[in-house]
């Protein structure tokens, strides 16, 4: 059971923590602690949601201790599977603009945008992870998207 849960959710939890920290070593430490705490509680349903909630709390706790709540830019490696170099460069430039814009919006909006559009959670799942109402998730999503559109000059469909 534990192995299946780990294998099924490792990538999603890793990416989520990585988006919030941009530190590979810290990501691995928090990932390990996330699964450790998850296994201590013996959750039997909504595993991914609980894993994300635990991961979020661990990231918050880490930065709260350091008094550096912030969202750091994630530097991605170029993905060039069958694409022309120009396409890869364009895609990476677009990603760079998006991550730069994400850094400039409120933390609440960033979290919702990452969970809803990058991790592709539903409104209900996002609300469970963030311990808030679905209405708040919808409002923060709309406000976050509006802020991103303004920062990106309204040129891209976020």
Contact 72, 27 (CB under 8 A): no
Q: Give me the mean pLDDT over the 81-104 stretch.
A: 70
Cα–Cα distance for residue pair 10/19, rounded to 1 Å: 14
Q: What pLDDT was estimated at residue 77? A: 46
Q: What pLDDT was estimated at residue 81? A: 52
Residue pLDDT, tens place only, 47-80: 888 899 999 899 888 877 765 444 443 444 444 4
SS3 label, residue 78: coil
Residue pLDDT, tens place only, 126-143: 998 888 999 999 999 999
Q: What pLDDT was estimated at residue 137? A: 95
Ramachandran quadrant class, 83 (left: phi over 0; alpha: psi -120 to 50; beta: rest): beta
pTM of the model: 0.57
Residue pLDDT, tens place only, 13-45: 998 888 777 788 999 999 999 999 998 887 778
Q: What pLDDT was estimated at residue 55? A: 92
């Amino acid at each position: 059971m534990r192995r299946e849960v780990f294998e099924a959710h490792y990538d999603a939890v890793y990416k989520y923590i990585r988006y919030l920290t941009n530190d590979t070593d810290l990501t691995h430490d928090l990932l390990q602690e996330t699964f450790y705490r998850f296994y201590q509680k013996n959750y039997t349903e909504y595993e991914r949601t609980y894993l994300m909630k635990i991961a979020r709390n661990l990231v918050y706790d880490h930065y709260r201790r350091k008094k550096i709540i912030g969202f750091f830019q994630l530097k991605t490696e170029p993905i060039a599977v069958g694409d022309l170099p120009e396409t890869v460069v364009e895609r990476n430039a677009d990603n760079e603009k998006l991550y730069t814009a994400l850094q400039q919006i409120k933390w609440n909006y960033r979290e919702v945008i990452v969970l809803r559009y990058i991790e592709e959670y539903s409104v209900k799942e996002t609300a469970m992870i963030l311990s808030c109402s679905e209405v708040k998730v919808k409002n923060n999503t709309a406000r976050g998207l509006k802020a991103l559109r303004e920062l990106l000059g309204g040129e891209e469909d976020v």
